[in-house]
Amino acid sequence: MFWTPLHAYTLIPQFVVYIALAFVLSRALMNKDYETQLLPLKICTILLLVLEVAKQAVGIATGYSTYWIPLHFCSLFLYFHPIACFYKGKHRDTFILIAGVVSACLFLFMTVYPNIIYSDDAIRSMWAFVTGKGGSFFELHTVLFHGIGLFTFFLFVFQGLGRFDTKKDVLRIMITYGAYCLIVGPLAQLIDTNFNNFVQSNAPFLEDIRGKLLESLGAFLGQTVYVLIISVGTILVPLIAYFVLKGLTRLLGQRKREAADR
């Protein structure tokens, strides 16, 4: 299932709250300088980093798994959002744009296929942990991390944080995510850790394709073709997300800022 009833019960209210809060913040900060306008995104970024540090600390204390290495698709929040928020050099607009695309990718998945981001079992485990009835801190991290990441998308949209240059942006996105695939795809095989579904897919229809490839082409070639398929998708999704971000920003966001506002 792309959505489960538990996803609907928990995510739809989140969407409503996030949209309302991002709208209010965008209007409250509209006439402030750019650094002040970035404060909500900075706070979210710091929260994501704190959550990740806590996860790594708990992992080290309880027995570390390579699955907790921050190389997953959504781990890109941990790299691009801090740079976007705190780097002030001449390439800042590029990092703001890539961070916006990272957020937009999560928005797409949480809208279309939230069950591939985290399962309803993860939601139950998170709630059990919060209420002291067992559960797992790692599931709490998963749900909170993606919830905060999802909110940042609405900040990008309603605040109009990004500046768009489609030809350059498409190239930047392809290079960024192409590099991610080149690094993480082979590494996932080497340490047998399912970053970004590079080893096997959490989506049943894709896992079925992988099984058929292994059967028809053999283990090595079949898995190689599968990784290439995932890589193509890993580049295509951000490109789609970019146009969603651009379209919604122009439809709902604040007036376009000039470069001097940076």
Digitized pLDDT (tens) for each residue of the chain, 262 residues in all: 899 999 999 999 999 999 999 999 999 999 999 999 999 999 999 999 999 999 999 999 999 999 999 999 999 999 999 999 999 999 999 999 999 999 999 999 999 999 999 999 999 999 999 999 999 999 999 999 999 999 999 999 999 999 999 999 999 999 999 999 999 999 999 999 999 999 999 999 999 999 999 999 999 999 999 999 999 999 999 999 999 999 999 999 875 444 334 4
Distance CA(34)–CA(52), nearest Å, equals 27
**Residue 260's pLDDT is what?**
35
Best CA proximity match to 43, nearest among 35, 33, 32 = 35
Residue 217 CB partners (closer than 8 Å, separation 6+): 225
Distance of alpha carbon 227 from its chain centroid, rounded?
Answer: 20
* pLDDT value at residue 218: 96
Burial label, 60 (beta-carbon count in 10 A; 0-12, 13-18, 19+): exposed
Structure token pair of residue 84? 């976007």
